[in-house]
Amino acid sequence: MSGFFKSSIGRKVAMALSAFFLMFFLLQHLAINILSVFSPELFNEVSHFMGTNPLVQLALQPVLIFAVVFHFVMGFILELKNYKANGVSYAKNNGAANSTWYSRNMIWSGLAILAFVLLHFVDFWFPEINTKFIQGDWSGTIEGVEGFRYHEELVHKFVNPIRVGAYALAFVFLGLHLAHGFTSAFQSVGGTAGRKKTLQNIGKAYSILVPLGFIFIAIYHHFNH
């Protein structure tokens, strides 16, 4: 297994697998968050289920954190090794499909996304860990708020226009990252043979619609809090 990760192909496959997992998570996360627009009550119910389910909290959540860290670390390693070997970046060394700006600057969009992920952890994940695992409060309620607290807390995060702007900008960078990363992940596992154009079209749609969905949620709650 160690030899697998030491090889260039092995590292790219591992990178692709972590990308698939994170792209699936993004869809799941968007599906839950969009409920906050159309049904705050259902959003609260689903959020409480996800936030108190032992399988999610004790098994899937650590896997998600590992996948995030692994994906970024492996991306930086690939960038560094390819630069040292060829004097060009990993993105530039992937063929003619990488002629766009975002494909030549995956490392920078990745750094911008990493900064957002860290801020997201400070904003959402750390307070949740403190509430549930340190304070021992798994009720999902908060004083002064009827029902579960999740919708109220989400809306509160988007009151500040600067935060909304930073949030939207982060998802623009995510869209740019996904615009190349989606097809690149399939290419790394040999999944583009005979269907590269189709995957490119799906990737374009994914890289536009998913970030746009998150941006819409932030803007909606900013103007309807």
Give the CATH number for residue 90.
1.20.1300
**Tokens (6 digits) for 15:** 């990178």
Q: Which domain holds residue 78?
A: 2-223
Sign of the CA dihedral with 208 first, then 38, 40, and 20 last: negative
SS3 105: coil
Reported as a single tens digit per residue, the pLDDT across 5-49 is 567 788 888 889 999 999 999 999 999 999 999 999 999 999 999
Reported as a single tens digit per residue, the pLDDT across 154-211 is 999 999 999 999 999 999 999 999 988 898 899 888 887 778 889 989 999 999 999 9
Count up the domains in the chain and report the number. Answer: 1
% of the chain residues with pLDDT over 90: 57
Reported as a single tens digit per residue, the pLDDT across 111-166 is 888 888 988 888 888 999 999 999 999 999 998 888 999 999 999 999 999 999 99
For residue 222, pLDDT beyond 70:
yes
**CB distance 106 to 91 below 8 Å:** yes
Distances, alpha carbon 146 to alpha carbons 56, 150, 153, 199, 221, in Å:
25, 11, 12, 45, 19
Q: What is the DSSP string of 47-98?
A: HHHHHH-HHIIIIIHHHHHHHHHHHHHHHHHHHHHHHHHHSS-TTGGG-GGG
d(CA 59, CA 89): 35
Q: What pLDDT sits at residue 98? A: 46
- Give the chain's length: 225
pTM reported for the whole predicted model: 0.86
Crossing angle (nearest 10°) for helices 196-223 and 150-157 = 90
Q: What is the DSSP string of 125-170?
A: IHHHHIIIIIS---S--BTTBSS-SHHHHHHHHTSSHHHHHHHHHH
